[in-house]
Structure 1
């Protein structure tokens, strides 16, 4: 694409991810934080107290910011595809937090539009850059044939009323919204044949919201691997868990929060997973590298789209109460 620095970047959103993006842009002298959009002026000032960027209360105005090269979509999940579509129509490159859309067909259409217009559409998957995933990728061969995987994430929280991440429409189906739980597995083990899934929600005073959710999916891969993915959050849980297990015929990999262990018979080897800090800096640097020098990104949008198809199949399986075949593309 051969853009010449500085690359002007605008951010839609003011949550945790948006804050990390502002820091990441500041760490790269080839990029400039040029604009931010939110319905809340207070939240924008909290992220950008010195107003180094232009503040917009409507994201549609941000897209027309003079000279803007990149729109970063870091707001509620429900709006990702709409903002991405409008940004591409305005000729902008787009960086979008996953999921690109709740619907695989819409996501595929957006990727086709970006390709036709020669615009970058990068779907962030920083989990692939982290020490846990790199350790799994490096040590999987030591397991021989991996036949079982278990991934559990439980996050105790007390959600306040109106929080978008506990809203059915705005957050979306749990495994679509938390797409990295699926993407880790498809990145390591390839394509999925069938999915079954069960979900439970704990109701709140508002019919559009909930106070906790639990989603459990069972994936059968074409390789023969069987995997279970459990994702839960909210006030129904009291103890946090982040556990990943891989079991093969020559060993086992166990990850519990930031501790990793390779087990082969009586031998146990501790694995250094490093820090999870700085991943948004790595992702942002990769985007700038791609825009300036044409370097390939660490993840292709087609891989994110495939993970979305698997997650959408899990949603269908939960709705129908039966095992669903994953679309082969």
Structure 2
């Protein structure tokens, strides 16, 4: 059980990162009287200074210096490959931690960090806002209507040309596609439980050192329930047909979510399903974290569930490397 913080003063927050998500977090924190963003550290002095000026916080030169400040909570919103090391330093310094997924690109390090947080009696919350979104909630609410589900397919394909030469297109910094984008698997494990076996194929195009022009990762999972699921994740210059679709087949009907269009199909016909907005999810996540730290209420996702999704992603990585089906 994480100790609750004092409520007579705002929770003092330090932020690691200056990108899109870091800016969202900063804006949200500035609108909540329960927290105060006091400092930020970024990848370069220029970005850090610009961010600090915009949000009226202190610019810090290093993570070590940030952790030496009088802060209660560290939010880690930097590149994937840095998550694990920053979380470890923050926990060792006795800080509560919020980190954008994935917790680490190394599944063994992720498990060590969860154990460290437990020993330190500190919160280690891995953001998984996909579980709060309208699509996922609509899936959960309508699963019973299709009877026993036996097949699911989740595809996210994104054409980008030219491919940006930034960390999301860097094998080392982003990680294996389904580890860096572990939310694709977490949706499935949250809905359908434990995985028995996994088979994965992964391909890159246009490699320039660690950077790539495109990637395509296709994975088949067999759950212990017997359900078979396919996950398709691709992005870049050679991904021409864009798609964001999630379908589930059950013995009494099917569910189809194509971008913002949801449908329930069964013997009675087709019924539209309203999908809630994706806006405001980081605000919900942040509010739940603050409520947990102040009043001890539960957050919406456990470290164990996040770790399990990461273990499935790591099994997919091993399958892609070896060409073999991996049993979990």
CA deviation after TM superposition for structure 1 residue 46, in Å: 4.7
**In 2: Cα distance, 1:14 partner to 1:154 partner:** 27
- Contact kept, 8 Å, 1:39 with 1:57, in 2: the verdict is no
**In 1: Cα distance, 2:321 partner to 2:64 partner:** 35
1:253-287 residue CA offsets vs partner (Å, 9 max, x unmatched):
10011111111124212111121110000000000
Structure 1 position 80 matched with structure 2 position 122 = no
What corresponds to 1:7 in structure 2?
11
What corresponds to 2:154 in structure 1?
151
Report which stretch shifted further, 225-234 or 6-15.
6-15
CA deviation after TM superposition for structure 1 residue 235, in Å: 1.1
Query: SS in structure 2 opposite 1:210?
Result: coil
- When normalised by structure 2's length, the TM-score is 0.95
- Contact kept, 8 Å, 2:26 with 2:55, in 1: the verdict is no
Structural mapping, 1:1-329, within 5 Å: 1-4=3-6, 5-65=9-69, 67-157=70-160, 158-161=162-165, 163-204=166-207, 206-326=208-328
**In 2: Cα distance, 1:50 partner to 1:229 partner:** 40
Report which stretch shifted further, 245-254 or 231-240.
231-240
Query: SS in structure 2 opposite 1:201?
Result: strand
**In 2: Cα distance, 1:57 partner to 1:127 partner:** 33
**In 2: Cα distance, 1:44 partner to 1:253 partner:** 45
**In 1: Cα distance, 2:87 partner to 2:145 partner:** 41
- Contact kept, 8 Å, 2:39 with 2:52, in 1: the verdict is no
Report which stretch shifted further, 296-305 or 47-56.
47-56
Query: SS in structure 2 opposite 1:160?
Result: coil
1:196-230 residue CA offsets vs partner (Å, 9 max, x unmatched):
000010123x2211011000000000000000000
Query: SS in structure 2 opposite 1:236?
Result: coil
**In 2: Cα distance, 1:50 partner to 1:182 partner:** 36
**In 2: Cα distance, 1:148 partner to 1:51 partner:** 47
1:129-168 residue CA offsets vs partner (Å, 9 max, x unmatched):
000000001100111000000000011123233x111111
- Contact kept, 8 Å, 2:52 with 2:58, in 1: the verdict is no
CA deviation after TM superposition for structure 1 residue 43, in Å: 2.9
CA deviation after TM superposition for structure 1 residue 45, in Å: 4.8
CA deviation after TM superposition for structure 1 residue 48, in Å: 4.2
Alpha-carbon distance change, 177 to 269 in structure 1, aligned in 2, over 3 angstroms: same
**In 2: Cα distance, 1:51 partner to 1:314 partner:** 40
CA deviation after TM superposition for structure 1 residue 83, in Å: 0.3
Unaligned runs of 5+ in 1: none
Alpha-carbon distance change, 295 to 43 in structure 1, aligned in 2, over 3 angstroms: same
Unaligned runs of 5+ in 2: none
In the alignment of these two chains, the number of paired residues is 323
**In 2: Cα distance, 1:68 partner to 1:249 partner:** 53
RMSD, matched Cα: 1.3
